């Protein structure tokens, strides 16, 4: 992929802070930041982590070139040349840990951790949040659609309505991670190896003397890939009968028409009636594709109405995550270097949800060995050994700590994996096929109560006793 230089894809305040650190001589102090979100999107019980591949590509390529430096020279801050030289020498020399793409993730747990010189860690905040927030949002929306579609076909059709080109291709990829079968975006196909597929538009039909002629000519040109859009004039009186004629003509050449596409009207009624018409014509192999502002709730309703739709084309609602167009992932400082040691830091807020959890921590997914299912995610300070060694641990609700239980027989799987260590990439990016498989395995780890689309049970994300006590102590210390 042609890698763009995205180093200035950051907020100006990051450069201001880098400059102030440089002026004050604190630019080499170590900092630890975590990305997490506070609330699951769409009322869903989980989110699907995505965006890591883009993060890795971005990180690999972080350089201030002469063009970027020349631009910074034009800025009113009048940065001195010595600072620009520090930017010219900029390399990411820190470490980055992240959940693998396709992982099921929850609110208030770290999805990415950056340990680096403050000079480096501050710069990358904006881009990392930009990539992870959008891709995780779309992957989560796609997982909801996949949940209702089951084994039906799912095509991503959103490019024309997406928030510009990057959103279209990375959104197509996020949808594919969560179980879509393909995309209409050919560039996403080329870049990522996602199956690219398509039918035809109304313009093809409008651009001929008759619908019948339009179908015939399309079938002549692409005899092995014929899906005909049947709603340009009248779906049942004209579109389906003309499609049947075309299918018969194809049969005479030993070919099989693939499908018809419905794109307006009552999709339940039309699909059932079209199915009957096709079956009566001996064309039970011809499939029915539907599109038209579909989302998971319309698909769920159409299935409940007995719609006979084999493949769903989903565009606008998915690619724009229309019912919740952003994920509120944040990048928060949790520890900083003081006198050569990392010390925890906290951000207090009047809103208890917004108080950060301090310290250098690890997150673990605890798998109950007797059920094979995920019991809770457990966040502990990095030095805590009991959870790593499988010792008995106390699980309690961090908001209501008097509600607790003990867990003995579990496997603790670290949620975050090393991606960059001291500036070197140590993580081999998995193929999209591997990510899709891993995502399905993740789903199988959870009880269905956490996965259901409507009013799911809240999956526990717990803090270790030591971490909880540290947080309480720090809150007490900063209470005014």
Ligand X SMILES: O=P(O)(O)OC[C@H]1O[C@H](OP(=O)(O)OP(=O)(O)O)[C@H](O)[C@@H]1O
Ligand Y SMILES: O=C(O)c1cccnc1
Ligand Z SMILES: Nc1ncnc2c1ncn2[C@@H]1O[C@H](COP(=O)(O)OP(=O)(O)OP(=O)(O)O)[C@@H](O)[C@H]1O
Q: Which is nearer to ligand Z, 247 or 267 (CB)?
A: 267
For 208, residues 6+ apart whose C-beta sits below 8 A from its C-beta are 214, 217
Which one of residues 75, 85, 253, 301 is an interface residue with ligand Z (CB under 6 A)?
301
109 near 377, Cβ under 8 Å? yes
Q: Which is nearer to ligand X, 204 or 427 (CB)?
A: 204
CA distance 51 to 330: 14
- In sign, the C-alpha dihedral spanning 169, 171, 175, 177 is positive
* Residues 219-258, mask of contacts with ligand Z (x by CB under 6 A): ----------------------------------------
268 binds, among ligand Z, ligand Y, ligand X, none (CB under 5 to 8 A by kind): ligand Z
85 binds, among ligand X, ligand Y, ligand Z, none (CB under 5 to 8 A by kind): none
DSSP 124-177: THHHHHHHHHHHHHHHHHHHHHHHHHTTSEEEE--GGGSSHHHHHHHHHHHHHH
| Helix 81-88, helix 66-73: angle, nearest 10 | 150
Check residue 205 for interaction with ligand Z (CB under 6 A).
no
Q: Which is nearer to ligand Z, 305 or 422 (CB)?
A: 305
CA distance 378 to 18: 34
CB of 315 to ligand Z, least distance (A): 11
For 51, residues 6+ apart whose C-beta sits below 8 A from its C-beta are 101, 131, 132, 133, 134, 135, 136, 170, 174
Q: Which is nearer to ligand Y, 51 or 313 (CB)?
A: 313
CB of 217 to ligand Z, least distance (A): 24
Check residue 198 for interaction with ligand Y (CB under 6 A).
yes
CB of 323 to ligand X, least distance (A): 13
CB of 201 to ligand Z, least distance (A): 13
Local structure of 299: helix, strand or coil: helix
Check residue 291 for interaction with ligand Y (CB under 6 A).
yes
CA distance 32 to 356: 13
CB of 381 to ligand Z, least distance (A): 49
202 binds, among ligand X, ligand Z, ligand Y, none (CB under 5 to 8 A by kind): ligand X
Q: Which is nearer to ligand X, 90 or 269 (CB)?
A: 269
77 near 92, Cβ under 8 Å? no
CB of 194 to ligand Z, least distance (A): 24
Q: Which residues in 45-70 are b (16+ Cβ under 10 Å) and which e?
A: bbbbbbbbbbbbebbeebebeeebbe
Instruction: Tell me whether residue 402 is exposed, middle or buried, using C-beta atoms within 10 angstroms of its C-beta: 0 to 12, 13 to 18, 19 or more.
Output: exposed
Size of the chain in residues: 480
**76 token code pair:** 């009113």
Q: Which is nearer to ligand Z, 103 or 317 (CB)?
A: 317
Q: Which is nearer to ligand Y, 49 or 157 (CB)?
A: 157
Q: Which is nearer to ligand X, 63 or 161 (CB)?
A: 161
- Give the closest residue to 290 by CA, choosing from 306, 305, 273, 268: 268
Check residue 182 for interaction with ligand Y (CB under 6 A).
no
What number of other Cβ atoms are within 10 A of residue 339's Cβ? 5
Check residue 52 for interaction with ligand Z (CB under 6 A).
no
Check residue 409 for interaction with ligand Z (CB under 6 A).
no
Which one of residues 264, 368, 425, 465 is an interface residue with ligand Z (CB under 6 A)?
264
Q: Please list every residue from 267 through 296 that binds ligand Z, using CB under 6 A.
A: 267-268, 292-294
Q: Which is nearer to ligand Z, 274 or 298 (CB)?
A: 298
Cα 454 to Cα 6, 43, 212, 266, distances in angstroms: 39, 7, 44, 25
261 near 184, Cβ under 8 Å? no
347 near 355, Cβ under 8 Å? yes
Check residue 183 for interaction with ligand Y (CB under 6 A).
no
Q: Which is nearer to ligand Y, 153 or 198 (CB)?
A: 198
CB of 137 to ligand Z, least distance (A): 21
199 binds, among ligand Z, ligand X, ligand Y, none (CB under 5 to 8 A by kind): ligand Y
Which one of residues 41, 100, 315, 358 is an interface residue with ligand Y (CB under 6 A)?
315
Check residue 189 for interaction with ligand Y (CB under 6 A).
no
Which one of residues 99, 298, 314, 376 is an interface residue with ligand Z (CB under 6 A)?
298
Which one of residues 110, 179, 313, 460 is an interface residue with ligand Y (CB under 6 A)?
313
55 near 128, Cβ under 8 Å? yes
CA distance 470 to 466: 6
Check residue 314 for interaction with ligand Z (CB under 6 A).
no
Q: Which residues in 77-114 are b (16+ Cβ under 10 Å) and which e?
A: eebeeebbebbeebebebbbbbbbbbbbbbbbbbbbbb
Q: Which is nearer to ligand X, 207 or 448 (CB)?
A: 207
Residues lying near ligand Z in the complex (CB under 6 A) are found at 264-268, 292-294, 298, 301-302, 305
Residues lying near ligand Y in the complex (CB under 6 A) are found at 157, 184, 198-199, 261, 291, 313, 315
């Amino acid at each position: 992929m042609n890698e763009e230089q995205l180093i200035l894809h950051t907020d100006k305040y990051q450069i201001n802070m880098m400059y102030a650190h440089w002026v004050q001589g604190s630019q080499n102090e170590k900092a630890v930041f975590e990305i997490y979100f506070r609330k699951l999107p769409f009322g869903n019980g989980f989110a699907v982590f995505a965006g890591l591949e883009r993060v890795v590509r971005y990180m690999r390529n972080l350089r201030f070139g002469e063009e970027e430096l020349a631009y910074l020279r034009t800025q009113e801050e009048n940065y001195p040349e010595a600072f620009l030289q520090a930017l010219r020498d900029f390399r990411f020399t820190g470490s980055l840990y992240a959940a693998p793409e396709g992982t099921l993730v929850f609110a208030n747990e770290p999805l990415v951790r950056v340990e680096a010189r403050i000079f480096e860690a501050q710069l990358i905040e904006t881009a990392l949040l930009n990539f992870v927030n959008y891709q995780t949002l779309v992957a989560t929306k796609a997982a909801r659609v996949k949940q209702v579609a089951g084994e039906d076909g799912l095509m991503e059709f959103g490019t024309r309505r997406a928030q510009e080109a990057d959103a279209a291709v990375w959104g197509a990829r996020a949808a594919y991670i969560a179980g879509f079968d393909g995309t209409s975006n050919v560039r996403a196909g080329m870049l990522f190896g996602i199956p690219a597929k398509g039918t035809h538009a109304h313009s093809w039909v409008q651009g001929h003397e008759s619908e019948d002629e339009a179908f015939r000519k399309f079938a002549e040109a692409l005899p092995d890939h014929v899906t005909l859009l049947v709603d340009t004039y009248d779906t049942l009186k004209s579109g389906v009968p003309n499609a049947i004629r075309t299918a018969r003509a194809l049969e005479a050449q030993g070919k099989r028409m693939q499908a018809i596409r419905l794109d307006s009207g009552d999709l339940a009624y039309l699909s059932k009636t079209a199915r009957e018409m096709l079956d009566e014509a001996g064309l039970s192999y011809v499939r029915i594709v539907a599109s038209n502002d579909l989302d998971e709730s319309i698909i769920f309703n159409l299935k409940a109405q007995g719609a006979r739709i084999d493949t769903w084309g989903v565009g606008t609602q998915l690619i724009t995550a229309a019912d919740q167009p952003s994920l509120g992932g944040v990048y928060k400082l949790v520890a900083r270097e003081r006198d050569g040691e990392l010390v925890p830091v906290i951000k207090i807020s009047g809103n208890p949800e917004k108080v950060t959890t301090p310290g250098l921590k690890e997150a673990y997914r605890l798998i109950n060995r007797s059920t094979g299912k995920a019991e809770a995610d457990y966040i502990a300070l990095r030095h805590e050994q009991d959870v790593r060694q499988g010792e008995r641990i106390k699980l309690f609700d961090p908001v209501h700590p008097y509600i607790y239980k003990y867990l003995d027989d579990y496997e603790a799987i670290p949620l975050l994996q090393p991606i960059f260590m001291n500036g070197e990439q140590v993580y081999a990016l998995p193929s999209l096929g591997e990510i899709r498989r891993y995502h399905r395995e993740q789903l199988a780890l959870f009880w269905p109560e956490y996965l259901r689309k409507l009013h799911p049970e809240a999956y526990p994300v717990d803090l270790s006793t030591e971490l909880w006590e540290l947080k309480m102590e720090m809150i007490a210390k900063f209470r005014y």
